[in-house]
Structure 1
């Protein structure tokens, strides 16, 4: 059973830009050393190195293009144009050609870095040809990390395809109808149903070994019933049936918790591929693909408006666990977490204190309050309570023109009277 921190530490994050930063630092250090040792030939050396690095891939691209044009132009490219499809596929990209052209121009302008011009050309030709040879033989092939980065960046892993297939072909169809199915189920079954169990719990074990009956994995889990079937017309099949199973999970105190839970069915494909030698899919690769499947599916569902707040992914690390109740504990932990996370957003209405009506005071008292003078006569009104929350008030009356106040009061023997 995975805790939240252990789960975050187990799931691989996308690769960052640290290799690029290290390459920039190494390049700056090398250029600085070259400037310190021989600053007069810096541009010549840089231009020669760039020309060698770009000319080698171009020669290797010529070798690749010979194979593609002669043997695969019709089957792989379907007679597409040479310049628009075959050349970019063989490495003749615009960036490579532009860098090679600028490097050649810089060598012509800055001059050769070596004193003997023939040595420069020999170095350029031999290095480029040997690069093409080693590249074709696989000596300079991409490392495993580079292949993994390219597959993850371009979404070419098996896990990416399985995650998208699971979402488009199943979850996006059934999750929007899950709440209605649970409501219909509750109307026909007398069973307590907590707020946290109104989601589809999707189990994703790291070893991809899925049991078709949950009670075979844990005796604290028992099958209860199926939710009402969802019939949809999909891919030419009229009334294709989609269903979910409701299970009863017992905790340590014997309390029953109902929930809709199932395994992620694409993991059966990963497990089957690891059992076939022809698939070239070993156990370590299967584990990596399961983690990528979990991360990819989580990213897809988080961006899906149809599936938001209707699912729960549970990652199970059951390779080194001997607990016979591992599965039930993991389900109960997520149910408890959902119960704590979900709360009512509408605050409880509070009754406002009814204040007694204030007696209308005379003009003298109103003027005395404006001038901060105590009233001469009349009943003393209680002060306005200051404990009320500020409110926004709107007037439905038409706006009136502004008029400046006119002072026409007289003070006589400490008393104040107002004239109309």
Structure 2
């Protein structure tokens, strides 16, 4: 039996034991009036709604904190996509039961339930000194320290940083990058194609923007972790626009998510993590990456995360990138027109 299978069986057994424990307490206390089934069902629905409300308060507060303190934009679609559908249906059903019985949704006892939960939770918060590292957090740290450090930051010697490599590309090719940052594409499906042109509009229309690969930026060759002359390089792309000059950018997909994509495709080989929630891993990866990049003065000016829904057939990566460029540099057209 695999470890993941054993853990699931253990969780199921413990859950059944909790149910039996609750039934035992209820019978022993003789507090359940089975003759009044209507009142019993109403109270059950009310407390299910209470618990789900208290449980939902944490992710809501986390989202508000990220918006207020880390200046992150609200991603309503991403936020609701992480919600447990079964629990959402339970909440809706409980609300319906209470509403159809002409009762208040949140009665006078709800504040006490909420405050009691927070009081019980406080010792755990106060004594917690270590944060559990999740798969997503580890992926983000590995991506930053194992890759971005080498391709983005200069070493103070002969190895150029990303912005200097972009300037060299501009000088050699007579073009201008309106935003001298590495655009890191986070796809919804986690799929990362060899060429970003696969995310172009799938129609044959000539009036749409399209990505085309250019020559790569100057490569970085360095000795890393026992590997001699290891090679790192970034790709340059140009966004071809009808009746306008192309827009040059440095862009690539977030490769750790591509690795996760392949792992999920081969779940039979990785049984230990076969049951993980991929959405949580991606959320932790993006959240950690965004936080670290924002805290680092060097990365803050040289890296930009771009979320792209590649599952939407009507979505065009070129348009998403242009919107991000316009957000970072509203006058980017003027910069482009300076090119020879």
Counterpart of 1:206? Answer: 188
Q: Are the aligned partners of 1:172 and 1:306 in contact in 2 as well (CA < 8 Å)?
A: no
Asked whether the equivalents of residues 166 and 177 of structure 2 are also in contact (C-alpha less than 8 Å), the reply is no
Is 1:173 the counterpart of 2:157 in the alignment? no
Q: Does 1:10 align with 2:78?
A: yes
Q: Tell me, yes or no, if structure 1 residue 158 matches structure 2 residue 142.
A: no
1:200 shift after superposition: 0.3
Q: Does 1:326 align with 2:316?
A: yes
Residue 305 of structure 1 corresponds to: 297
Q: Distance in 2 between matches of 1:292 and 1:207?
A: 16
> In structure 1, the residue corresponding to 2:318 is in which secondary structure?
helix
Please say if residues 237 and 248 of structure 2, whose CA atoms lie closer than 8 Å, have aligned partners that are also in contact. Answer: yes
Change (3 A) 1:289 1:22: farther
In the alignment, the residues of structure 1 paired with residue 172 and residue 258 of structure 2 have an alpha-carbon distance, to the nearest angstrom, of 33
Alpha-carbon distance in 2 for matches of 1:322, 1:27: 44
TM-score, normalised relative to structure 2: 0.54
Match of 1:295 among 278, 282, 287: 287
- In the other structure, the counterpart of 2:157 is none
- CA RMSD, 1 decimal: 3.3
Aligned to 2:115: 25
Name which structure has the greater RCO, CA cutoff 8 Å, separation 6+.
2
Note the alpha carbon deviations across 1:81-121, whole angstroms, 9 max, x for none: xxxxxxxxxxxxxx99xxxxxxxxxxxxxxxxxxxxxxxxx
TM-score normalised to structure 1 length: 0.44
Q: 1:269 and 1:189, CA in 2 relative to 1: closer, same or farther beyond 3 A?
A: same
CA drift of 1:209 comes to 1.2
Q: What are the ranges of 5 or more consecutive residues in structure 1 without an aligned counterpart?
A: 13-20, 30-94, 97-149, 343-420
Structure 2 SS opposite 1:227: coil
Q: Which residue of 1 aligns with 2:327?
A: 337
Counterpart position of 1:218: 200
**Matching residue of 1:256:** 246
Is the alpha carbon distance of 1:340 and 1:165 closer, same or farther for their aligned partners in structure 2, counting shifts above 3 Å? same
What displacement does 1:186 show?
Answer: 1.5
1:316 is the counterpart of 2:308? yes
- Corresponding position: 1:184 with 2:176: no
